[in-house]
């Protein structure tokens, strides 16, 4: 199958050919025709599978006809497509893809990019003449609406990229406010690498008879990632990281840690020992974050130490290694972290440090991910710390993420206790 079989306009076929893309990926082959038919789409595919182009190409095709008529009678651009993303980095990346694909087209299509962490005034100025497509994080989008700089009443297509993050509790309030501003009649496109069960139900409530596209379970198209787990004491992780970098001659490594403080601490320790390492985290300005990320992509840094800020939506070509210095909080985050390597058909390696205190959590991640990795012990770094027993609550649930009672469980228990007291 090639792109001409998907119903794409010749102009877009020419663009993808110029990009060096001969054949669509599985997610593109299945999702593009569904989007062009005007259907709601719920699409799940592993990281690096080409999800962005799977919606960018059909969205731009549907914009081309309205752009042609508007160019004949110039007027302020009306926002017809809204792409919501959870992070500034992903907003920038998606916008770059949209602009790169739209640039060679005869029709003029303007892409607006808005996110927090920077001054709102330049973004307001850029939207004075409107935008055909707006790529936004929810909070800044609502700020612009409040400032009367953006109107969403004529949006025809809503795209949620990394939809599982946008549908979770952290974004629920902002997302509901955005949805209330949109026309009820619109096309909804949800794309993500993972959909937890609780998020799946929310997604289904948002969609109308959606076309479902699932590629994530296909082993044939799974990314080629060699996964390792190494047992190590907490205080030996940085020396072990230095050792691995030297032993394997790693030229670029993306290292994930749990906190912003750890970013700076680990990066400084590595830099002091002669490894060109730097930090990337949410307390940095947007300009500094973009600069560091660009330098890492250009191989000017050997190691980039980051939080889960960089676990989603960031495309780093030919990144050979991802290392979990701290384990992620959930199996879903593990999937997104290691998905930064082995993109676009390349091979990659993912290494996880497992300490005595994180062993139980690592076992849970393996269970959720359906993997079973031997726990390696490297000479000179053999762990001596005793395994930390899993805390057991009164009701017998473990204390690790995924085993704790949910908020609803706690409310039910409190209600039952109160009812029991009343009966007495």
pLDDT tens column, 266-290: 999 999 999 999 999 988 887 888 8
Instruction: Give the pLDDT confidence score for residue 223 in this predicted structure.
Output: 72
- Which domain-ending residue is among 196, 219, 242? 219
- Rounded mean pLDDT, 197-226: 77
- Rounded mean pLDDT, 71-78: 67
Q: Decide which of 318 and 154 is more confident.
A: 154
Domain limits for position 238: 223-376
Shared-domain flag, residues 206 and 65: yes
Shared-domain flag, residues 179 and 278: no
Residue 158 lies in a domain: yes
**What is the band of 424 on the pLDDT scale with cuts at 50, 70, 90?**
very low
Residue 247 lies in a domain: yes
- Which domain-ending residue is among 165, 200, 219? 219
Shared-domain flag, residues 198 and 337: no
**Mean pLDDT (the chain, rounded):** 86
Among 170-184, 283-297, 306-320, the range of highest mean pLDDT: 170-184
Among 260, 229, 237, which residue's Cα sits nearest to residue 325?
237
Instruction: Give the pLDDT confidence score for residue 399 in this predicted structure.
Output: 45
Shared-domain flag, residues 204 and 102: yes
Shared-domain flag, residues 21 and 51: yes
Q: Decide which of 193 and 401 is more confident.
A: 193
The residue behind tokens 């619109």 is 186
Residue 328 lies in a domain: yes
Residue 18 lies in a domain: yes
Residue 399 lies in a domain: no
Shared-domain flag, residues 137 and 24: yes
Shared-domain flag, residues 205 and 267: no
- Which domain-ending residue is among 191, 219, 247? 219
**Exposed, middle or buried: residue 44 (CB in 10 Å: 0-12, 13-18, 19+)?**
buried
**What is the band of 308 on the pLDDT scale with cuts at 50, 70, 90?**
confident
Instruction: Give the pLDDT confidence score for residue 358 in this predicted structure.
Output: 95
Helices (H), 2-50: 10-18, 26-36
Shared-domain flag, residues 168 and 299: no
Stretch among 212-216, 271-275, 334-338, 386-390 having the lowest mean pLDDT:
386-390
Count how many domains the chain has: 2
Give, for 288, the enclosing helix (H) or strand (E). helix 286-297
> Is the confidence at residue 402, as pLDDT, over 50?
no
Shared-domain flag, residues 8 and 113: yes
Residue 411 lies in a domain: no
Stretch among 210-214, 313-317, 357-361, 420-424 having the lowest mean pLDDT:
420-424
CATH number, domain with residue 119: 3.40.50.300
pLDDT tens column, 351-393: 999 999 999 999 999 998 889 999 999 999 999 987 766 555 4
pLDDT tens column, 103-118: 999 889 999 999 998 8
CA distance 30 to 18: 22
Instruction: Output the CA–CA distances (angstroms, integers) from residue 200 to 175, 287, 296, 331, 378, in the order listed.
Output: 16, 35, 35, 16, 41
Q: Is the pTM of this model over 0.75?
A: no
Shared-domain flag, residues 53 and 201: yes
């Amino acid at each position: 199958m090639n792109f001409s079989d998907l119903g794409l306009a010749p102009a877009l076929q020419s663009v993808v050919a110029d990009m060096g893309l001969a054949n669509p990926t599985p997610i593109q082959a299945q999702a593009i025709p569904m989007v062009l038919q005007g259907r709601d789409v719920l699409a799940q595919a592993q990281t690096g599978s080409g999800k962005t182009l799977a919606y960018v190409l059909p969205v731009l095709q549907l914009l081309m006809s309205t752009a042609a008529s508007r160019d004949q009678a110039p007027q302020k651009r009306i926002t017809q497509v809204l792409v919501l993303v959870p992070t500034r980095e992903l907003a920038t990346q998606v916008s770059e893809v949209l602009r790169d694909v739209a640039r060679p087209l005869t029709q003029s299509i303007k892409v607006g990019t808005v996110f927090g962490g920077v001054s709102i005034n330049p973004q307001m100025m850029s939207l004075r003449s409107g935008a055909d497509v707006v790529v936004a994080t929810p909070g800044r989008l609502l700020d612009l609406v409040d400032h009367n700089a953006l109107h969403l009443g004529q949006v025809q297509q809503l795209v949620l990229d990394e939809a599982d993050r946008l549908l979770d509790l952290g974004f629920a309030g902002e997302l509901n406010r955005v949805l209330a501003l949109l026309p009820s009649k619109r096309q909804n496109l949800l794309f993500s690498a993972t959909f937890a069960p609780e998020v799946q139900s929310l997604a289904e409530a948002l969609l109308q008879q959606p076309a479902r596209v699932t590629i994530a379970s296909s082993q044939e198209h799974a990314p080629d990632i060699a996964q390792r787990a190494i047992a190590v004491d907490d205080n030996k992780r940085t020396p072990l990281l230095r050792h691995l970098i030297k032993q394997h001659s790693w030229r670029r490594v993306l290292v994930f840690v749990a906190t912003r403080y750890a970013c700076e601490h680990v990066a400084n320790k590595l830099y002091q020992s002669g490894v060109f390492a730097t930090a990337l985290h949410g307390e940095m300005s947007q300009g500094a974050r973009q600069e560091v990320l660009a330098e890492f992509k250009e191989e000017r840094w050997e190691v980039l130490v980051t939080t889960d800020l960089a676990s989603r939506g960031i495309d780093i070509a030919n990144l050979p290694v991802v290392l979990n210095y701290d384990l992620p909080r959930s199996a879903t985050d593990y999937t997104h972290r290691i998905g930064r390597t082995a993109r676009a058909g390349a091979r990659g390696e993912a290494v996880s440090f497992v300490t005595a205190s994180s062993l139980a959590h690592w076992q849970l991640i393996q269970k959720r991910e359906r993997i079973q990795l031997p726990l390696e012990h490297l000479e000179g770094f053999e762990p001596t710390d005793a395994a930390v027993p899993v805390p057991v609550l009164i009701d017998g649930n473990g204390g690790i993420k995924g085993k704790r009672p949910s908020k609803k469980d706690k409310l039910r228990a409190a209600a039952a206790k109160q009812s029991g007291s009343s009966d007495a």
